[in-house]
Amino acid sequence: MNKKLVISSFLIMFSVVCLSITVYAATTGFSLRVNGIAIKGEAKVIDGVTYVPLRTVIEGMEGSYHVMPESNTISILRRDISMYGGYTESNPLHSGSKAYFEMNENFNKFIGSVSIEETSKGKDALKVFQEKKEPAPSGYSYVLIKVNLHILASEKPGALLSMNNYRFEYIDSVTLKRTPSFMFPKYSPSVSEGKPFNGWVGFLIPEGHESGMIVLSSTDDRQNALWMKVE
Report how far residue 13's alpha carbon sits from residue 60's, in angstroms, rounded to the nearest whole number: 44
Phi, psi of 15 (to 5 degrees): -65, -40
Kindly give, in sequence order, each residue whose CB lies less than 8 Å from that of residue 30, ignoring residues fewer than 6 positions away. 42, 43, 44, 45
Which tens digits make up the pLDDT trace of 11-20? 333 333 333 3
Report how far residue 151's alpha carbon sits from residue 194's, in angstroms, rounded to the nearest whole number: 7
The answer on 215 and 175 residing in a single domain is yes
What total number of domains does the chain contain?
Answer: 2
DSSP state letter for 193: B
Mean pLDDT across the chain: 76
The answer on 199 and 95 residing in a single domain is yes
Which tens digits make up the pLDDT trace of 88-140? 788 888 888 888 887 877 778 888 888 889 888 877 877 787 766 788 889 88
Report how far residue 119's alpha carbon sits from residue 156's, in angstroms, rounded to the nearest whole number: 33
For the chain, what percentages of helix, strand and coil (3-state, to nearest 5) are there?
Answer: 20, 45, 40
36 within some domain: yes
Is residue 192 within 8 Å of residue 151, measured between CB atoms? yes
The answer on 98 and 33 residing in a single domain is no
The answer on 31 and 1 residing in a single domain is yes
The answer on 150 and 91 residing in a single domain is yes
Average pLDDT over residues 36-59: 82
The answer on 139 and 32 residing in a single domain is no
Nearest CA-CA partner of 110 in 140, 74, 171, 155: 155
Report how far residue 118's alpha carbon sits from residue 81's, in angstroms, rounded to the nearest whole number: 21
β partners of residue 34 = 37
24 within some domain: yes
The answer on 57 and 86 residing in a single domain is no
102 within some domain: yes
Confidence label for 43 from pLDDT (cuts 50, 70 and 90): confident
72 within some domain: no
75 within some domain: no
The answer on 144 and 42 residing in a single domain is no
The answer on 93 and 15 residing in a single domain is no
Hey, is 47 helix, strand or coil? coil
211 within some domain: yes
- Return the half-sphere exposure (C-beta side, CA atoms, 13 A cut-off) of residue 80: 1
Looking at the predicted structure, is the pLDDT value of residue 8 above 50? no
Could you tell me what percent of the chain has a pLDDT over 70? 78
The answer on 112 and 30 residing in a single domain is no
CATH number for the domain that contains residue 161? 2.60.40.1240
The answer on 188 and 95 residing in a single domain is yes
69 within some domain: no
Give the H or E element holding residue 202.
strand 197-206
194 within some domain: yes
Q: Which domain holds residue 125?
A: 80-229
> What pLDDT score was predicted for residue 174?
80
The answer on 100 and 40 residing in a single domain is no
Which tens digits make up the pLDDT trace of 139-181? 888 888 999 999 988 888 888 998 889 889 998 878 888 899 9
